Each structure stands twice: as C-alpha cells, then as structure tokens.
Amino acid sequence: MDLLSGLGPKPSNNPDLATRAAMAQVEIYTTRFCGFCHSAKALLTRKGITFLEIDVSGDLQERSKMIERANGRTTVPQIFVGSTHIGGCDDLYALHRAGGLDPLLAAEGITQGGST
C-alpha cells in the first residue's frame, strides 16, 4: 500500500504554470519563430533579468489569458514587469531607451545582474 495515499497531493518540484507565473516577476508571452519575441528576450537576458516565458503558439487558453491581461492586444510578445503591462517588443525597447526600465524594475523590487 502507498503510505502517502490519503495525505493529499504530493509536493512537486515541477510547479504548474499558474504557480510559476505567481512567483515570476517578469513574464513574457511568446510564440515560436517570432523575431520580436527573440529581440525582447535578448534585451531582458542582456540585463540579467530572469523571466518566465509563456509560449502560446499552440495554447489557445493561455493566448486568451494574454489578450485579456494585455487589454485586448493580440500580438506577441506581451511583456509584464511585476504588476505593470509593458506591451510588446517595441514598447520594451522604447521604455529602455527612455531610461524607464531600470526604475520600473526597481519599483517592482526586481533585481538584475547584467549590463545596462
């Protein structure tokens, strides 16, 4: 007999997407073969920002959730920094060029380890 049966769900080292999203501070919705997604991820990586990537290529449910969270925007990527919706790749780079990304990361309590 399984000694753990009846004790509820077993702890998991592989949390589901909802749990990972709740833990993540930067989230980026992407599809495969998306140049804008690659560019956006490159900037985040260059800045040493850890992010959760949600690939919605074949996932209608997550894509619907993205559109809802992004106030109706349907293109990928859609990027969220903490509770703030940044928008797409162009928006991310524009924010960075305007000097607004670092203060936003700081305001959201997100640490970064890469170059600026």
Report the site for ligand GSH in 31-50 (rule: CB under 6 A). Answer: 31, 34-36
Q: Residue 55: helix, strand or coil by DSSP?
A: strand
Strand 78-81 versus strand 52-55 pairing type: unpaired
Q: In the complex, what is the shortest distance from the CB of residue 9 to ligand GSH, in angstroms, rounded to a whole number?
A: 36
Amino acid at 83: S
Rounded to an integer, what distance in angstroms lies between the CA atom of residue 70 and that of residue 3?
45
- The only residue of 28, 89, 95, 101 in contact with ligand GSH, by rule CB under 6 A: 89
- The only residue of 88, 95, 96, 105 in contact with ligand GSH, by rule CB under 6 A: 88
- The only residue of 52, 59, 67, 75 in contact with ligand GSH, by rule CB under 6 A: 75
Closest CA to 79 of 91, 94, 68: 91
Rounded to an integer, what distance in angstroms lies between the CA atom of residue 22 and that of residue 10?
20
Residue 15 or 90 having the CB closest to ligand GSH: 90
Binding site residues, ligand GSH, CB under 6 A? 31, 34-36, 74-77, 88-90
